[in-house]
Structure 1
Amino acid sequence: MKHIIVPATSANMGSGFDSIGIAFQKYNHLWFIEIEEGLEILINRKQKLKIPTDKNNLIYKTMVGFYELIGKQMPGVRLIQEDYIPLTRGLGSSAACIVAGLMAANDISGCNYSKEELAQIAAKIEGHPDNSNPALLGGMVVGALDKEEMRHVKLKMPENLSFAVMVPDFPVETEKSRGVLPYTVTRKDAIFNSSRAALLVASMITGNIDNLKMAMDDRLHQQYRLPLIPGMADIFKMADVFGSKGSYLSGAGPTLVSVLTDDTVSGFSEKMNGYLSTIPHKWTLEVLKPDLEGARIISE
């Protein structure tokens, strides 16, 4: 059997709505092998939400779609899935399944598509590239998608950054989180976000991380999703007090992320864990470094 790992991803990064994302060193695992016929799926690690073990499994559905795209018959497969990316928490669990399915199908079919070609397919499946790009390519990636193609740039980030990932014990469904967003925004808010997104990219490239607090501010999605995530505003305020360089809502939520320098990790973690223990709901804080490689087959 071959073994694929796919990193967790954090989309939007505040102002980069549906366009900017980053990969973290937290992984889903997939072992796969072609069999004579049929479908066998084993889930090694249970989560609160049940993962389908039939043809409704997202990894398998993605593989079927890949084979339809290349005009070949889908063979029988055995899949072993071991997930450490939490479901419905805004850390790219769906994108990880799509990327794993594409890589497995690409390998079994012998197509040998490049990561760039797979990134084009994944972005169109997802409808936006901010999770699928970093899942495949690693690092922090800026992407734009139109009807014909997706373009992207992988940024070189400062090496001394870590990310405090705060995950609550309640989910927020992506459909519900997208449903609260307005169809139109004012010119003022559009200018606000375009300037912040540009500042975010420029600051990461140049290492001017003191800009991140402003650069990660947003008026396209976070203010509308605030009521869905109890404690979000206060956690952001306390993150500033405890030394965060900037904080944002990860994807559709409810996970919150604060950007830290490596030398502030221990102090921030101790203080933030203390604060999180005093508010409603259970929050889990994990400090992660960026994954710079993206999805890969690591062994057989």
Structure 2
Amino acid sequence: MTFVDGPVTVRVPATSANLGPGFDSLGMALTWFDEVTAEVTGSGLTFDITGEGSDEVPRDETHLLYRAMSAAFDLLSEHPDGLHLTCRNTIPHGRGLGSSAAAIAAGVVLARALVVGGGDRVDDTTLFGLATDLEGHPDNVAPALRGGFTISWIEGAAAETLRLDVEADVTVFVPPEPVPTSVARGLLPDSVPHGDASFTAGRAALLVAALTTAPERLISATEDRLHQSYRSEAMPDSYKLVRRLRVEGVPAVISGAGPTVLAFAHGLEAWTPAGWARRELRVSPEGAHLTV
């Protein structure tokens, strides 16, 4: 038998990349999850989608979840005749909380789990490399797959990641309107002053220490001069909230490409802008994992 009998379900976390100075390298899994169930069928591709983005995402082969599964099936040299996919989406789309990385992570994990002996044929390192190729960079897919706090980089042509266990209170402030990642990236300059690069490199190193052994350093460790200010014109209210929180001593950053604001603290109800959602979270020790 090539495929397992019955459905397989994966739970995958939201993620926050960059965390201030760790541009395209640092990421963190959060206790906020999407859940996807896949089952091999006789023919065709069908979807049952509820929650975030259910009125907007495609229900055909162009869906990112299916594209990730198809790429993993290619790697396994196995393709089912049909699939039924059930998506329970809670992670907001286009808000800098890793919804695309969650879809990719869910897809590659599900495809491997659906193939009998898939875990023996494709290991976690290979799966991470595939997910990185699909996403374009490893900063979100690393924590989506492995949980915790991750440091990721490209070694030659291969994606590498180092996972650390950290504990932290996190609050996210989610604005009502998205900002496409392509728009946010398009605002970045081709080069930055050497002083800004040196400053941010030092803060990125400090952030690793702050999240593991020196939380009192988080306000300094989350400073950045590489990307957040350049993106402010696409998300002025988010950037304003970051600055206001930091003036009050709260370590706050733009989550990923934004426009969500992430703060390393709880009890920030009074700071929630009108019309925004606020959610208190923790760092998730688990990445994408199969559920029984």
How far apart, CA to CA, are the structure 2 residues paired with 1:132 and 1:103? Answer: 12
Mapping 1:193-204, distance limit 5 Å = 193-204=200-211
Secondary structure (helix, strand or coil) at the match of 2:24 reads coil
- Asked if 1:182 is matched to 2:189, the reply is yes
- Quick check: 1:199–1:215 contact (8 Å CA) kept in 2? yes
Long gaps (5+) in structure 1? none
Give deviations 1:197-235, integer Å, cap 9, x for gaps: 1111122221x1121112111111101101111223431
How far apart, CA to CA, are the structure 2 residues paired with 1:82 and 1:70? Answer: 26
Q: 2:149 aligns with which of 133, 140, 143?
A: 140
Mapping 1:43-192, distance limit 5 Å = 43-45=49-51, 47=53, 50-110=56-116, 111-112=118-119, 113-157=122-166, 159=167, 161-192=168-199
TM-score, normalisation: structure 2? 0.92
Q: Which residue of 2 aligns with 1:253?
A: 258
How far apart, CA to CA, are the structure 1 residues paired with 2:81 and 2:115? Answer: 9
Q: Which residue of 2 aligns with 1:210?
A: 216
- Quick check: 2:135–2:141 contact (8 Å CA) kept in 1? yes
How far apart, CA to CA, are the structure 2 residues paired with 1:30 and 1:65? Answer: 17
Query: CA distance change for structure 1 residues 237 and 47 in 2, over 3 Å: closer, same or farther?
Result: same
Q: 2:13 aligns with which of 7, 16, 20?
A: 7
Q: What percent identity do the matched residue pairs reach?
A: 35
* Alignment RMSD (CA, Å): 1.6
- Quick check: 1:11–1:21 contact (8 Å CA) kept in 2? yes
Instruction: Return the offset for 1:242.
Output: 5.1
Q: Which runs of 4+ in 1 moved over 6 A?
A: none
Query: CA distance change for structure 1 residues 46 and 286 in 2, over 3 Å: closer, same or farther?
Result: closer
Long gaps (5+) in structure 2? 1-6
Instruction: Return the offset for 1:48.
Output: 7.0
Q: Which residue of 1 aligns with 2:284?
A: 291
Q: Which residue of 1 aligns with 2:243?
A: 237
How far apart, CA to CA, are the structure 2 residues paired with 1:193 and 1:125? Answer: 28
Give deviations 1:241-299, integer Å, cap 9, x for gaps: 5552x111111110010101xxxx23x22x213xx23xxxx211111111101111112
How far apart, CA to CA, are the structure 2 residues paired with 1:103 and 1:233? Answer: 35
Q: Which amino acid counterpart does residue 27 of structure 1 have in structure 2? A: F
TM-score, normalisation: structure 1? 0.89
Instruction: Return the offset for 1:13.
Output: 0.5
Query: When the two structures are aligned, how many residues end up with a matched partner?
Result: 283
Give deviations 1:149-181, integer Å, cap 9, x for gaps: 122111232x3x211100001110011111111
